[in-house]
Structure 1
Amino acid sequence: MKRKVLVFVFLVFGVLSFGNGKGISSNENQRIENLSSLAKIWGFLKYYHPNVARGNFNWDEQLIMMIPKVEGAKNREDLSKIYLDWITSLGVVKECRSCQNISGKSYFDKNFDLSWMDNLAVFTPELSRKLRYIEENRAQSNSFYVTKSPRENVEVRNESKYKDFEYPEKNYRLLSLFKYWNTIEYFFPYKYLTDQKWSTVLEEMIPRFEKVNNATEYQLVLLETVIKIDDTHASLYTNKNFEFFGKKYIPAFSNVIENKVVIVGIYNDSLARINDIRKGDIIEEIDGVNALEIMADRKKYVNGSNSNTKAKNYNYQLFNGSTDSVKVKIRRDNDFVLKTVKRYKGSDLKSNLSRTKEKFNLDANNIGYINLANIEANDQEEIMDKLKSTKALIIDLRNYPPLMPYRIARRLSFESKEYVKCLAPDLKYPGRFFWKKSLVIEPLKKSYYRGKVVLLVNEETQSRAEFVTMLLQAGDNVTTIGSQTAAADGDVSRFEFSGFVTAISGLGVFYPDGTETQRKGVKIDIEVRPTVKGIQEGKDEVLEKAKEYLVTEKS
């Protein structure tokens, strides 16, 4: 009998506490749903209502004023009346004849969705009609809050500057969330590609932002929100480093190779020797915890458009700290070694990464090699003239080129070719993106390079490097060898919200055939990844594969 009573009590308690699957009461669900609707309406009015978009109101303070009103609404009628009264207070929205004329623009609408306005479970028909009216008669003058760069990616402006906001009070924390959410909602060209549907982020994160207890927890939840857009350009720059991660480094860096955390590079040779840490060392444990388990636990804090890029970016989450040293268990030559590795300030490391300063060379097989990281604009003709009679060219893009090598690219094609097309935000219809005119490379026929060309890429190939890869891939005899790139293509848009700075890929970048580069990276013809054995032996396996391919490939 007691067993039955206990089971009954547990079931009743489960229904009361966990019946909605989240352990939240119906009243709390209603409150969070109300706040989520406020975030959406506040952002919509910010960019669409002509009087608000002109900057006629302190829009942050308007949100702070609305939060307690909205939290207290018990049903859709109460909630809708609050919003209708608010909209009325903002002034008359005049009819906009030009708003109906959107012909001439080729829209890409995978990001665009205002269907939440028509949710009659949340809003009354009257409010839905009012919101749709504002959409149809939206602001057409220059927005107070957003503009475009010369490249047409969005620039956020005139946001209130907040000092000492490492841990503001609850409603201002919600302001940060709502401001960031709406910036992504309307101006991130790759919103439709995020793993988590962006519309679900608000209801998940509102209670998280409310419940944080200190500055570190708050900044971590900010970081977690930024990471959700799955963009390698997306990171969070705060006024102080996270205490959670620390700001001291070991004198080496890692990557994930063959599902192992492996030291792949040295920041400082002498400090690495002092600590006896070497390239090819496999890191089994860090402070007694399995390295792969640490990665899994901290995944939500690591930026990257794909797992290949995240693997590189885990380095800081694994080894950083505030203490002067860290204990690591290393596997080396099939032996396990437990050692204490010192941590250093970044300034003390005085990085001497062994990156060659060589611009180009020629090997015994008459194959030329160009390192794009080291060339300057005026080097291009000289290098191509010296290598014009080679059997083939290898162009290394496992770096960040300082320029767009148009003078090289023009020699690789015999005819004009499109190499990329881009999406730009329509600031007169926020949330919509339009196709810009495709970019074309014009050939330099008199200097046409007739040999084969191989491009080398990996996770270091990011942003401009990916754009350069697409430019060079338009050549006639080009093969791309390597592994998945960072998949963050498009000019960076940086913006500040509530005292913190972050960034997004501000333009959408696609191949001429419409193939996406975001999340995927550039197209690769032959996939080659480094191996643990190759790293331990000091080999560049990607370069070796390229040379092997060119030597054995028939003309």
Structure 2
Amino acid sequence: MQKIILFLLVLFSQTIFSAAKITETEKLVATCKVWGFLKYYHPKVASGQLDWDKQLLEKLPKIEKAETKEDFSLILENWIDELGPIKEVTPIAASKEVEYFDKNFDLSWFNNSQVFSKKLSQKLKFIEQNRFQGDQFYVYGLDRVGNVGMRNENRAHPDFTNKYSKLRMVFMFWNLAEYFFPYKYLMDQKWDTTLVEIIPLAIQADNQADFYTVMRKFASKLDDSHTEVYVYPNATAPSPKPSNYFPASAKIIDEKLVVTEILADSLAQADDIKVGDVITKVNGKTIKEAIAEKRGLLSASNEAKFLDKIAPSLLVTKADTVKVEFLKNGKYITKTMIWHDYHDSHRNEFKKGARKKKEKFKLLDDNIGYVDMGILTGKNVPDMIELLKDTKAIVFDLRNYPKGTIDDIANFISPKENKFAIYTVPDLNHPGRYKWGDGTSCGTENKDHYKGKVVVLVNEETQSHAEWSAMAFRSTGNATIIGSQTSGADGNISVFDFEGFRTLFSGIGVYYPDKGETQRIGIVPDIEIKPTIKGIQEGRDEVLDRALFFIEAGDLKTGATTNPKVNLKEIPSLKN
């Protein structure tokens, strides 16, 4: 009798379990994963033989009606069967010469018994083992560099009143990053969790503005400084009101906005705006409150770059007037300002004399050279070398985006060839997996290389090619890096491009030759120094000042000095 009761209890519990309800979000998350997996893995889908978007839009209403795991799984099983048989080709031999990087690769979701039947899990595994081998229909590997580009996609605005149309775009973006974003493993939040959060928000957003705000939140979760979002209106929509701008640029320091450069001098003079002015509120909102509002809408690899991205967004408006609170001489002063669209080309009358002309390279006092890497071009390098070759030190300023001059400079400063970076690139024959690619070297055998000190300046504006250049400088063994945390985003960009929405992300992984990471960390300076409000108000470049201290004082880490005139006690303390 006890055995019969036990048998009935087991049978009853199995029946209850098998009939367990499945939520809408669970179904849609699982559908997103299956649809994306088949898009890149199923031979018939990945080769472009089917209208895969159309199939998704046809299946979603049926999936919506499924109430249990069994019903849901059966729909997906039948969908896979409808695609036709798959030729068994296992095992697909991996090249013995390939070294894989698998921190991103995870198809364990196949075995999620909460939403998938055992039969469906087996079908998915079989498809992976007999996956498509050939030119992917929806993505292609960019020549030489390895990151992917989108192709053969319907890039029109979704129908913002149709949840299936919106979900198609959500599914597309999630899967593109799932399989082809090399730093997925470094996100603060698991990409699966982000999908769970975004799907309900996307369904609720029933107009362009709200939906693309959801997509901004989505993209922000990449935690990648390369990720910028561009939103464009429908062609039928009225032209948007032009933006108006504060007449200067500014930097966030200590939760305040500090004016760093005048961009429109006549406008700045009219409102008595000067470099070093401290802004504490814009339209009644503190800078701290504005920072909090922007979290979740902007993507950045680290806090330094996040603040750098926020600052310009606080200095633009569609409004006719703006109330700005300043802190001057210990007193808070509120001004009602009219900002202007001086960024327009026909507004040059506002900008006469505002920006000082920059020099590509020059001699500073005490026989020290200075090079602005943001404006130095390849054709300028020979003249730069000729002028600065006999200096005791050269400061290379990388607080900008350089113009591809690092190879020629490395040949000048390095005594030998040095490997400075290696890469991970996506394996399009096994999407989601990455391969270690070739490395890059700089410098050449050169007995007559530059013998003076080399100093490189960096900050949060040092991003991508600039960070890559800093890695090259460091590999020469003759460079000291001074400044603050860099952007932490390197690797050629991939693009998710729609008619009304465009965003970017790092497309290949960039590492030191020992496989040390740079993403999110950035280039760690040998000597850390950040600008201060006081320094900006005094008109000083504190990062350059620290570099000049270093050059004159010798080895600040040990206390040794090559210049007896330098008093080490007067030099600000160093973290390193």
Task: Identify whether the pair has TM-score above 0.5, normalized to the shorter chain.
Answer: yes
Deviation sequence 1:216-265 (CA, Å, 0-9, x none): 11111111111110111112212139999983222222221133222222
Distance 1:246 1:317, change over 3 A: farther
Whole-Å separation in 2 of the counterparts to 1:70 and 1:102 = 40
Unaligned runs of 5+ in 1: 1-25
What is the deviation of 1:316?
3.7
Residue 46 (1) aligns with residue 39 (2): yes
What is the deviation of 1:386?
2.4
- 2:420, 2:471 within 8 Å by CA — same for their partners in 1? yes
Give the TM-score, by structure 1 length.
0.91
Whole-Å separation in 1 of the counterparts to 2:329 and 2:489 = 37
Q: Give the partner amino acid of 1:282.
A: V
Distance 1:318 1:357, change over 3 A: closer
Select between 373-382 and 43-52 the one with higher mean Cα deviation.
373-382
Which structure 2 residues correspond to residues 410-489 of structure 1 after superposition, within 5 A? Answer: 410-489=411-490
Select between 269-278 and 129-138 the one with higher mean Cα deviation.
269-278
- 1:380, 1:405 within 8 Å by CA — same for their partners in 2? no
- 1:251, 1:349 within 8 Å by CA — same for their partners in 2? no
Whole-Å separation in 2 of the counterparts to 1:450 and 1:206 = 59
Of 101, 112, 125 in structure 1, the residue corresponding to residue 118 of structure 2 is 125
Q: Give the partner amino acid of 1:267.
A: L
- 2:161, 2:206 within 8 Å by CA — same for their partners in 1? no
What is the aligned partner in structure 1 of residue 148 from structure 2? 154
What is the aligned partner in structure 2 of residue 12 from structure 1? none
- 1:179, 1:497 within 8 Å by CA — same for their partners in 2? no
Of 224, 231, 239 in structure 2, the residue corresponding to residue 238 of structure 1 is 231
Of 105, 111, 127 in structure 2, the residue corresponding to residue 112 of structure 1 is 105
What is the aligned partner in structure 1 of residue 573 from structure 2? none
Whole-Å separation in 1 of the counterparts to 2:242 and 2:67 = 44
Q: Give the partner amino acid of 1:161.
A: R
What is the deviation of 1:141?
1.1
What is the deviation of 1:75?
1.8
Give the TM-score, by structure 2 length.
0.88
Pairs aligned (count): 528
Residue 278 (1) aligns with residue 270 (2): no
Of 242, 251, 254 in structure 2, the residue corresponding to residue 255 of structure 1 is 251
Partner of 1:445, secondary structure, is coil
What is the aligned partner in structure 1 of residue 296 from structure 2? 300
Distance 1:349 1:312, change over 3 A: farther
Distance 1:536 1:414, change over 3 A: same
Deviation sequence 1:392-423 (CA, Å, 0-9, x none): 11000011112242111122222221100111
Whole-Å separation in 1 of the counterparts to 2:347 and 2:506 = 31
What is the aligned partner in structure 1 of residue 188 from structure 2? 195
Whole-Å separation in 2 of the counterparts to 1:254 and 1:293 = 17
Select between 38-47 and 145-154 the one with higher mean Cα deviation.
145-154
Whole-Å separation in 2 of the counterparts to 1:107 and 1:356 = 48
What is the deviation of 1:169?
1.9
What is the deviation of 1:170?
1.5
Distance 1:244 1:119, change over 3 A: farther
Q: Give the partner amino acid of 1:336.
A: Y
Whole-Å separation in 1 of the counterparts to 2:242 and 2:191 = 30
- 2:212, 2:501 within 8 Å by CA — same for their partners in 1? no
Deviation sequence 1:249-289 (CA, Å, 0-9, x none): 22222221133222222221221112222222222111112
Partner of 2:188, secondary structure, is coil
Unaligned runs of 5+ in 2: 1-19, 555-560, 563-576
- 1:246, 1:320 within 8 Å by CA — same for their partners in 2? no
Whole-Å separation in 1 of the counterparts to 2:254 and 2:137 = 50
Residue 265 (1) aligns with residue 261 (2): yes
What is the aligned partner in structure 2 of residue 531 from structure 1? 532
Residue 69 (1) aligns with residue 62 (2): yes
Q: Give the partner amino acid of 1:433.
A: Y
Whole-Å separation in 1 of the counterparts to 2:108 and 2:277 = 53
- 2:486, 2:523 within 8 Å by CA — same for their partners in 1? yes
Select between 436-445 and 342-351 the one with higher mean Cα deviation.
342-351
Deviation sequence 1:372-392 (CA, Å, 0-9, x none): 122221222231232121111
Whole-Å separation in 2 of the counterparts to 1:316 and 1:70 = 44
Whole-Å separation in 2 of the counterparts to 1:42 and 1:246 = 40
Whole-Å separation in 2 of the counterparts to 1:443 and 1:245 = 54
Percent identity of equivalent pairs:
40
What is the aligned partner in structure 2 of residue 3 from structure 1? none
Select between 517-526 and 295-304 the one with higher mean Cα deviation.
295-304
Distance 1:41 1:382, change over 3 A: same
Partner of 1:410, secondary structure, is helix
Give the alignment's Cα RMSD to 1 decimal: 2.1
| Deviant stretches of 4+, over 6 Å | 241-246
What is the aligned partner in structure 2 of residue 381 from structure 1? 382
Of 334, 337, 352 in structure 2, the residue corresponding to residue 338 of structure 1 is 334
Distance 1:161 1:387, change over 3 A: same
What is the aligned partner in structure 1 of residue 397 from structure 2? 396
Whole-Å separation in 2 of the counterparts to 1:200 and 1:246 = 37
Whole-Å separation in 2 of the counterparts to 1:156 and 1:37 = 23
Select between 412-421 and 181-190 the one with higher mean Cα deviation.
412-421
Partner of 1:99, secondary structure, is coil
- 1:159, 1:496 within 8 Å by CA — same for their partners in 2? no
Of 324, 327, 348 in structure 2, the residue corresponding to residue 328 of structure 1 is 324
Select between 276-285 and 38-47 the one with higher mean Cα deviation.
276-285
Residue 169 (1) aligns with residue 170 (2): no
Whole-Å separation in 2 of the counterparts to 1:119 and 1:100 = 27
Select between 330-339 and 168-177 the one with higher mean Cα deviation.
168-177
Whole-Å separation in 2 of the counterparts to 1:300 and 1:528 = 28
What is the deviation of 1:361?
1.3
Partner of 2:466, secondary structure, is helix
What is the deviation of 1:349?
5.4
- 1:376, 1:403 within 8 Å by CA — same for their partners in 2? yes
